[in-house]
Structure 1
Amino acid sequence: MTTSKVTPVGAVRPGLLEKLVAAVRPEFRAEILAFGPDDPVLGGKPCRVTGCGRTGRIRGLCFGHDSRWRREGKPDLGHFIATTDPRMKGHQPLASCRIPGCLRGRKERGLCTRHHYAWQRSGQSDLNQWVAALPPVVEPDPPATCRIAYCDLWVHADLPFCLTHGIRWKEQGRPDIDDYARGYENDSTPGHERIDLRELDAHLRLETQYALQCRHDDAAIRIAPSAVQVVVNFLAATEVSSLLDHDEHAWLQAWKQRFPKRARFSNGDSGRALLIYARRKVEESHLGRGWDVEYRRDVWRLRNLGVEEGPATVRFDQISQTWLKELAKRWIRWRLSSGLGTGSATKAALALTSFSRFLTSPAVGVDRLAQVDRPLLERYLADLHTELAGKKIHGERISQLHLFLQAIRRHGWDESLPANATLHSEDFPKKGQLLPRALAEHVMTQLEDPHNLNQWNDPDRRLITLILIRCGLRLGDTLRLAVDCVVHDADNAPYLRYVNHKMKREALVPIDEELEAQIIKQRRKVSDCWPNRIPVLFPRSRANPDGSKRASHSGYQHALAEWLRRCDIRDAHGNPVHVTPHQYRHSLGTRLINLDVPQEVVRRILDHDSHAMTAHYARLADTTIRRHWEKARKVNATGQTVTLAPDGPMAEAAWAKQRIGRATQALPNGYCSLPLVKTCPHANACLTCPMFVTTAEFLPQHRHHHQEVLQIISAAEARGHTRQAEMNRQVADNLEKIITTLEVDDPGQQEAAADAS
């Protein structure tokens, strides 16, 4: 056993040792850590060979069985898995002496020590003949068997084990017999599934054990013990006493020097990621987490501030002016605390980094805030125009600097800021008129083709695509949908309830029954996977033990690109189509406008804040004011009054549904309230359809229709056509109820009644 290095651990970091000793549990305090397949992080799927009990790392096989499969010439894998012995070399029963009845271990030539010496003394050269001539061994008082549980060989001489196990016992320094036997029996974990920490300094070993325990408790990202061992060996070679001896940048540089080939794959190096994770966990244990730790750093780690989504860091390390860096930190911390998104925070930091580079240029040479006046800002605007004219980032840089200077002046953070250090609306680049990004109907037809939709490898992503196409949600809002996202109004019509994260509010959009059924199916599947949780509707497939983490943007976008290639989606010129998820939203808006749906309704469906956003799809169309619809009495085919939902989000969504029906399915004597996406099962029978709605403006048509129906009934009865008369009698009754109800609120009818009186 290798002797571990010893360092006065109390002198490494004051107070850290006590925290680590109290935190690390006994199962992680061993110098050699072994993990089985059931471990959520360092384990994996068990070997496919029944009874093996090891982790299947290659083709579902453990390393041992994979090596055996290759040594046997790579036979049919299924047959090999079904027939091979689950036990590996060193854990199988040992062969006994060739002499019948002798259960001693073999020494040489298949013979035990006693029979091997006997054969040598016999002087015979043919071993097989000599073995065949010997009678079976009969021991009236047979020796004890080996202490290893699965070994039935006799003990060797005065050893407590058979010959082979005894030799191994002596080679290991004759440890305690019971401990050796018990460990040999139970320890089926091979060396590559263990983590040997003996070469580490005592304090560094404790830090590594703490980091592995944290990684184990997180149960998020798997890593093989062999990859952990690489990190352990790297730390042992550096001869440091603590992970805190170097900052993250220094550790990364040391790792790149040690593994230059791995440095080219920064996103796939699990060892590098574990090294940085371990340092952050130890630092968090020593110093805590939150603003007290992060604020003074030049790179804020947003995960340490409780931010679980979006960019992981906000960088200030490229801002060279101390005064500008301190003001930038104060400004961005204030904006984050007021609800600013992390993406906007990183844009703000980049804008101030750009301003810092300008201030340090030899032609400018500004070293204090008092020199930042209007002439300096005009010079900066000129440089920005030269560098970024025509790009979206041009206006963003100016906007962020404007907000920064405005905050300094408003909050009184530094009184030395000149009064004329301001930016005006004329300083911002003029925005050009952007064309809509809607997809051509030729492309949308291919995307909505059921055959192509069924080529999604993941049913979750297929449903995400349907929601994007039919509801016009942003991708981020779709991925954040809760499992209970479907709600119903008073007419039991389904709506999709979601959070518009851009506007920071809840919104509703009407959906059809087919989409509702698929969402319910997805909800049941998720609930079956995490019955005791309330996860999101589209949970991440990996590194998500409790189902709380949503699917990622990049994962869907990569899958979308692969799906488009698989389906061979092409434009009108035969070229492959590139589609972004947000184009589905533009396509829905453009479709609705082309169907003459009023722009106000489109705005409500897409949950825009202003008509300017909706006008990106089409110019403002003429609309019927909503209050006229609300004031008018609406009755259905049976004469019952139809009312919209009370004020609130549901009322807004119901109004949008009514307006779609009014604009696209108007009838000569009323409106159909069936959603646009559904097919009418009552063709040419609207007066008996439960989705029929009408108002007093159609009274003349109803009276004329009533007279015609009565004439049809009379003629049918005269000819003896009973069935025809019965069918039209229901229509006549409904018309009579409709007319009676609508005449109550009809001003013309009331004036006629007054004149008659």
Structure 2
Amino acid sequence: MTGQSRTRHDAPDPWETEYPKDIWNARHLGITALNRVTIHFDQITRPWLKILAKKWACWRLSTGLTIEPAAMGTKAIETFDAFLDTTPIGVNGTADIDRALIEQFLAYLHIHSAGQVTHRLRVGQFNLFLLTTRRHGWATDLPNTAAIYTEDYPKETIRQPRALSEHVMTQLEHPENLAKWTSPHHRLITVILMRCGLRISDAVALTQDCIVRDKDGAPYLRYLNHKMKREALVPIDEELEHAITDHIAHVNRTNDTETRMLFPHSYSDAAGTGHISTHTYSKSLRRWVARCSITDEHGHPAVVSPHRFRHTLGTRLINLDVPQEVVRRILDHDSHQMTAHYARLSDTSIRRHWEAARKINASGVDVTLDPDGPLADAAWAKQRLGRATQALPNGYCGLPVQKTCPHANACLTCPMFITTAEFLPQHHEHRTQILQIISAAEARGQQRLVEMNIRVLGNLDLIIGTLDDEHAADPAPESSSGDHAS
């Protein structure tokens, strides 16, 4: 920041040398950078716009904002500058930015980035730029009509699932594969990402005092949530606690210089606060996945990134029926909307498998549910409620929950009963039990009990025969993806 007083007589203010440059380096400014290190102004060709972009970025960094969001804002101004190259309207300064020009810019963004995450991001960042410029009086000639309204923002696109499948996670979590990590730093980071769902930027910055205990002695991992700028806690088990404790001893035994970091890099600063970078870990993760020959369900090399572990933990917790508020606190989400995303994905995945599975009733007859019919959503809602409130050990009840079951005997004689191949082991076990009951009833002369259970046995034979044929044709277990609720 030009004009600022020097902190030391023999050391110049870093802003005096960095500010005039078209590329700012965070480390030269004394700013800790987790992923991105630089902010680029070199692609903003209009001097008046570059001046404002630098003022905005400097002010944002002075408020404690990290380098990444500041760079995103500069990127939005760079996009606006590129848009001005395409319009015949002469724009020579902020006085020429009015609502009509902004509407053209919004149309430009729609053409070039519709459906992308950057679309909404660019609109939001440029709006912040206009608001801050007006608030601080950096451009007194900026028209009041230079505004972006709520309805100008594109609708948020529904994000696709990013959780890793259980097929992939089983390979990643296998002790033999974890042992293939050449760096103890990277191995422990991987375990922490899997079990705690931290962002990679928060994981690499963990300090050696990261374990705390509650009044009952239960261990928690304490970390700084850099995105939310607050300290957060996540419960951990004793196994992870011991792994962290052992790693601290290893670091202090093998590190040449004193450090307070859990994952210090090979060279450490005087304060002992240097840690390995997210880029270094991400690159090592890709190499480890390739070295372990991790594949997806189709036999293709699995695509694994650090942040997908976070999505996987969130999805797993929701699938285990952990309340959303608990999941929100574990992942330290700022809003319930983020956590609800995992619940929506879980429900979508369960529904997809339910619709794809062959369903038969107690008589072995196929039950057809049209996934594209006009009542598809309502039918699934009823089914989801039924699974939650009338779950059976060997199938599901298709009776509307508003009705009372009129059948006093077992569900296998009920026309509302529905089952799939995932329950074949239970059906085989049930058949063995039924045969034992019939044999004992015959020995005691209980003919009525024999007749009732022979009917159940007949239905079981129909169910097992039908589902066995299906299972033989497609031996892959339906629950291999880990998408079924537990």
What TM-score, normalized to structure 2?
0.66
Q: Say whether 1:297 aligns with 2:25.
A: no
Deviations 1:547-579 (A, max 9, x none): 532111121111111111121111222221111
Mapping of 1:526-605 within 5 angstroms? 526-530=251-255, 533-541=258-266, 548-605=273-330
Q: Which has the higher contact order (CA 8 A, sep 6+)?
A: 2
Aligned to 1:478: 203
Cα 1:543–1:483 shift into 2, 3 Å: closer
CA displacement at 1:545 relative to structure 2: 8.2
CA displacement at 1:389 relative to structure 2: 1.5
Is the CA contact (8 Å cut-off) linking 1:530 and 1:547 kept in structure 2? Answer: no
Is the CA contact (8 Å cut-off) linking 2:204 and 2:275 kept in structure 1? Answer: yes
Q: Distance in 2 between matches of 1:447 and 1:315?
A: 38
Q: Say whether 1:343 aligns with 2:68.
A: yes
CA displacement at 1:546 relative to structure 2: 7.4
Q: Specify which of 26, 31, 34 is matched with residue 307 of structure 1.
A: 31
Aligned to 1:325: 50
Cα 1:294–1:285 shift into 2, 3 Å: farther
Higher mean C-alpha displacement, 536-545 vs 426-435: 536-545
CA displacement at 1:618 relative to structure 2: 0.4
Is the CA contact (8 Å cut-off) linking 2:257 and 2:268 kept in structure 1? Answer: no
Q: Distance in 2 between matches of 1:546 and 1:394?
A: 41
Q: Distance in 2 between matches of 1:299 and 1:285?
A: 26
Aligned to 1:449: 174
Paired letter, 2:15 = W
Aligned to 1:389: 114
Is the CA contact (8 Å cut-off) linking 1:496 and 1:510 kept in structure 2? Answer: yes
Cα 1:432–1:311 shift into 2, 3 Å: closer
Q: Distance in 1 between matches of 2:253 and 2:281?
A: 23
Q: Specify which of 222, 242, 246 is matched with residue 521 of structure 1.
A: 246
Runs of 5+ in structure 2 lacking a partner? 1-7, 347-486
Q: Distance in 1 between matches of 2:213 and 2:277?
A: 29
Is the CA contact (8 Å cut-off) linking 1:299 and 1:313 kept in structure 2? Answer: yes
Cα 1:387–1:546 shift into 2, 3 Å: same
Aligned to 2:230: 505
Is the CA contact (8 Å cut-off) linking 1:474 and 1:581 kept in structure 2? Answer: yes
Q: Distance in 2 between matches of 1:357 and 1:619?
A: 38
Paired letter, 1:518 = A
Higher mean C-alpha displacement, 463-472 vs 284-293: 284-293
Q: Distance in 1 between matches of 2:329 and 2:271?
A: 35
Q: Distance in 1 between matches of 2:24 and 2:257?
A: 35
Q: Distance in 1 between matches of 2:281 and 2:15?
A: 33
Q: Distance in 1 between matches of 2:233 and 2:273?
A: 23
Count, aligned residues: 338
Is the CA contact (8 Å cut-off) linking 2:40 and 2:71 kept in structure 1? Answer: yes
Cα 1:614–1:529 shift into 2, 3 Å: same
Q: Specify which of 615, 624, 635 is matched with residue 340 of structure 2.
A: 615
Deviations 1:37-90 (A, max 9, x none): xxxxxxxxxxxxxxxxxxxxxxxxxxxxxxxxxxxxxxxxxxxxxxxxxxxxxx
CA displacement at 1:324 relative to structure 2: 1.6
Paired letter, 2:63 = S
Q: Distance in 2 between matches of 1:590 and 1:547?
A: 36
Deviations 1:233-282 (A, max 9, x none): xxxxxxxxxxxxxxxxxxxxxxxxxxxxxxxxxxxxxxxxxxxxxxxxxx
Deviations 1:475-526 (A, max 9, x none): 1111000011111111111111111111111111111111111100111111
Q: Distance in 2 between matches of 1:315 and 1:288?
A: 23
Largest Rg, 1 or 2: 1
Q: Distance in 1 between matches of 2:160 and 2:112?
A: 25
Q: Distance in 1 between matches of 2:228 and 2:125?
A: 19
Paired letter, 1:562 = R
Cα 1:574–1:406 shift into 2, 3 Å: same
Q: Distance in 2 between matches of 1:439 and 1:368?
A: 49
Deviations 1:172-222 (A, max 9, x none): xxxxxxxxxxxxxxxxxxxxxxxxxxxxxxxxxxxxxxxxxxxxxxxxxxx
Runs of 5+ in structure 1 lacking a partner? 1-283, 622-757
Aligned to 2:137: 412
Q: Say whether 1:288 aligns with 2:12.
A: yes
Paired letter, 1:444 = M
Paired letter, 1:613 = M
Q: Distance in 1 between matches of 2:205 and 2:278?
A: 11
CA displacement at 1:362 relative to structure 2: 5.7
